[in-house]
Structure 1
Amino acid sequence: MEASLRKTIRALRGFLTIPGAISFSGLLVAIGVWSLELYLRAEYPDFVPKFLVVETDTARAVFTTSASASMSALVMVYSIVLLVYTMAASAIGPRLLQRFGDDRVSQISVGSLGATFLYSLECIWLSRDGVPMDLTVTVGAAYMIVSVMLLLVFVQRVSTRVSIDREAAEIALALDRQVSYAIDRSTPLMARDLVLPDASERTVLSTADGYVDAVEPSQLLTATQAIGATVFYDVQPGDFVITGAPIATVFNDPEKVLDQHVIDAVPLLLVRTPEGDLRFSVNLLVEIALRALSPGVNDTFTAIACVDRLSAALATARAHGLSIGVHLDTEGVARVVSPTTTADTLFNEAFPPLRRASRRNGLMSLALVRAVARMIRIAEPQQREAMFAELHLIAEEVSASDLLDADKAELLSRIQKTLELQPQPPE
């Protein structure tokens, strides 16, 4: 049920559904306002102030002009969306098209123009009998004013969305929200520290192909607690599975009553999405940085901006002890377990590919060192192992690069100063 609800919400928020719903509301509002005006004229003949009185021919001309202008603007908006966002996605990253399509400002702007067009079209048809439409014209004018204002907001929004630094900041904000949500669901337990139950076990196989969108254990937790079973997943959000591949091991379920619950708790999608996949936004920032470091783009400062944003999100995850993957029942017993995602997991997914891409780029290597140093200085001593290991690897990359000896010496000196923060083993 939960997985189906997520898929339904995802389908209903698209660039077609939301503008379509707003546009269709224009028809309903036109009929409602027209009916209301007929009723008010019958009950209160003088309810319309004189300055709002409009001749029927004038009203039809207003609606005809409104319908024509709104449709022209609608075509222009769609053209801008497709052209500008496609160009931005090709320059920044193709997976950004999904983010652009989910942009609420664009959706509402397109919907308001569609609503204005359908409202005007319906009012032209309703005015065929020469019925006065003073209130209807007033509401139509309000539609036009709102559409013009939203069009201005849309243009301003598009001009900022195509900025790489701004888009990286937007992705980082989304990552911060995902990290905060994951922190709230964290438990101090780690999957690798759990002991496998001494009970009968069996493997549950995937029934479809796709990317794991999330682990949604609410119903599965209830079912496992009821029979005393435990489920260990082999996959986590973002993984791709194929039909027949093992996805989980179930303990203490000899009657096989949990199979459908196990499959439903990991919904599969055709593409990865950021909703339940904490690694998605991390990978998106890494992709932008790697594309910026490619010889065809050669935009080091965009890559540095992505690294800075990543360091902030990972520092937050480390400071609050991010550890998501072990789900407890109402009695505090681990019932549903998937590979644990921690700050180190995200760090090891983001920084090694950036390090390898920065081997011949001294400026980027320096940015990586600074980012790791920032995280080390605010981390607890027991949390620094992965970051110190990465610094050693950065030092090896710098030593093996073809940078000038003076540049190598400066970078290695900065790395050494940071490594001095590493506690020394007792003699």
Structure 2
Amino acid sequence: MSDRGYRRPRALSPLREHLRDTFWFAPTVGLLCSFALWWGVAALDAEIVTHLKDEQAYEEIGDLIRFADDARTIVTTVSSAMMTFIGVVFSISLVAVQMASGQLTPRVVRIFVRSRISKLTLTVFLATFAFSLLVLTSYESESDPRRVTSVPLLQSMLTLAMVGLSLLLFIAYVSSTLRLMQVGPVVDRITHESLRVVGRMPGGVREELSLGAETARIGYSGRAGVLREVNVARLVRVARRQEVVLRLIPRIGDFVVPGTPVLAVHGGALSQRMPRYTISVGVERTPQQDLAFGLRQLSDIALRALSPAVNDPTTAVQCLDRIVQLLTAMVHLPLGAVQHRDGAGAVRLVQDGPEWTELVDLAFEEIRWCATRSPQVSRRMLAGMDDVVALAPEDRKGALVRHRELLVKAVERTVPDVIAREFALFPDRQGIR
């Protein structure tokens, strides 16, 4: 139970996550880079003309002027059309996001916001627009090769290259957006993020540890929000310097308000002020350290699909496929309180986490209430539970068996016909083949 190498604390981690959840940072950096790029390329164009003048190559300067005049039409067209193109593309994208959030769950909007291809596309589009406007200012009315000071040769060529890149990114962006409007890629993205969290969980066997008497508590002093991330390495170092053991009171995903006790101190004294950059609090849960958030999202999508207004049991089955995948990945994982140790092997931080029974309840409890109306879903749930039971150790089979029995009883109460009931209670990994 270590903090996995005791990495240097990521002091900017909350800022990094905040920037990834916003859409303004990358385009702003792109605009600044486009200005810097234009300034550098304009200087190179001026150097080229100066060099040709020194060589008295006025015929070559005239050729450059004619090429720049031909490219000027294209640059003008690009500058006038790019902003309209941006507006149309992202208006359609907002409609796509709204449709996806309405059909699946509002929590999938975060996938669109954090999409790298979306941010890269908007950044390149805006950079191309700004760069083309700056290039237009570099054109001179003078046509005499002896009097011209600069010819935007490289600027024009770079503008054309950026237009080509914009078109390629537009194709990639449309393809990515269409994929994220489908259920399969969305639940696959959620599962992939959750499996990364599972892979970062420390292994070994959870040991019973006597922390001793609690000597102090440290309250939260920031703005209210959801506990999203904990800097384990920094907390371990703080506890080692003070020779104490810290216990994180809320779990990842809990909502905390100012004054809420966050850290309990055992075995010594510690300043009542929260160490800087140790926890990250935001407006919603994130999958960075939240082991249960993926199950929460998949359960929400399945519940919406099973609602009478949507009535899409196939989507619920797709979610159950991924729920079974996550439970299978967690079935042998040590759960509950995690003990983080310092370099000498002493426990310095205890962090509470979800138990196996809680994860199984989150995965099946709410879906089970709606599964009785759809034999496809009840059959898939039974098959999924049987698959996980076959892999689970003895001490973890009970929670799965309990949910299986409750599902069978619920279907028996809801479906009076014997033949229909037998059909609904037959395990099938595809629901209904």
**Given the two structures, how large is their TM-score scaled by the length of structure 1?**
0.87
Matched, 1:226 2:241: yes
Quote the Cα distance in structure 1 between the aligned partners of 2:127 and 2:337: 44
Quote the Cα distance in structure 2 between the aligned partners of 1:401 and 1:49: 86
Matched, 1:377 2:385: no
Quote the Cα distance in structure 1 between the aligned partners of 2:209 and 2:61: 76
Deviation, structure 1 residue 229: 1.3
**Comparing 284-293 and 343-352, the one that deviates more:** 343-352
Quote the Cα distance in structure 2 between the aligned partners of 1:381 and 1:312: 19
Q: Is the 8 A contact 1:308 1:371 kept in 2?
A: yes
Aligned to 1:420: none
Matched, 1:146 2:174: no
Deviation, structure 1 residue 328: 1.6
Deviation, structure 1 residue 83: 1.4
Aligned to 1:89: 101
Deviation, structure 1 residue 298: 0.5
Inter-CA distance 226–27: structure 2 relative to 1 (3 Å threshold): closer
Inter-CA distance 51–95: structure 2 relative to 1 (3 Å threshold): farther
Q: How many percent of aligned residue pairs carry the same amino acid? A: 23
Deviation, structure 1 residue 85: 0.8
**Comparing 319-328 and 70-79, the one that deviates more:** 319-328
Aligned to 2:176: 157
Matched, 1:188 2:205: yes
Deviation, structure 1 residue 181: 2.1
Q: Is the 8 A contact 2:225 2:283 kept in 1?
A: yes
Q: Is the 8 A contact 1:362 1:403 kept in 2?
A: no
Aligned to 1:24: 32
Give the counterpart letter for 1:59 in structure 2: A
Give the counterpart letter for 1:99 in structure 2: I
Deviation, structure 1 residue 317: 1.9
Aligned residue runs from structure 1 range 382-397, under 5 A = 382-397=395-410
**Comparing 22-31 and 147-156, the one that deviates more:** 22-31
Aligned to 2:146: none
Deviation, structure 1 residue 351: 1.4
Quote the Cα distance in structure 2 between the aligned partners of 1:383 and 1:402: 30
Structure showing the higher helix proportion among its residues: 1
Give the counterpart letter for 1:36 in structure 2: L
Inter-CA distance 221–126: structure 2 relative to 1 (3 Å threshold): same
Inter-CA distance 101–54: structure 2 relative to 1 (3 Å threshold): farther
Q: Is the 8 A contact 2:248 2:263 kept in 1?
A: yes
Deviation, structure 1 residue 279: 1.8
Q: CA RMSD in A?
A: 2.7
Give the counterpart letter for 2:300 in structure 1: E
Aligned to 1:314: 327
Deviation, structure 1 residue 312: 0.8
Matched, 1:203 2:217: yes
Inter-CA distance 154–324: structure 2 relative to 1 (3 Å threshold): farther
Deviation, structure 1 residue 413: 6.4
Quote the Cα distance in structure 1 between the aligned partners of 2:391 and 2:31: 51
Aligned to 1:135: 154
Number of aligned pairs? 408
Deviation, structure 1 residue 114: 0.7
Give the counterpart letter for 2:174 in structure 1: V
Unaligned runs of 5+ in 1: 416-427
Deviation, structure 1 residue 291: 0.5
Quote the Cα distance in structure 2 between the aligned partners of 1:124 and 1:412: 71
Matched, 1:239 2:291: no
Inter-CA distance 395–194: structure 2 relative to 1 (3 Å threshold): farther
Deviation, structure 1 residue 147: 0.7
Deviation, structure 1 residue 239: 0.5
Inter-CA distance 299–242: structure 2 relative to 1 (3 Å threshold): same
Q: Residue 291 of structure 2: which of 254, 269, 278 is its match?
A: 278
**Comparing 67-76 and 123-132, the one that deviates more:** 123-132
Matched, 1:42 2:59: no
Aligned to 1:336: 349
- Report Cα offsets for 1:164-184 as digits up to 9, x if no partner: 2221122112222222122xx
Q: Secondary structure at the match of 1:151?
A: helix
Aligned to 1:418: none
Greater relative contact order: 1 or 2 (C-alpha under 8 angstroms, separation 6 or more)? 2
Q: Secondary structure at the match of 2:137?
A: helix
Deviation, structure 1 residue 357: 2.2
Inter-CA distance 270–397: structure 2 relative to 1 (3 Å threshold): same
Q: Is the 8 A contact 2:228 2:289 kept in 1?
A: yes
Q: Is the 8 A contact 2:356 2:396 kept in 1?
A: no
- Report Cα offsets for 1:193-239 as digits up to 9, x if no partner: 33231x45233322242111122221221121233311222211101
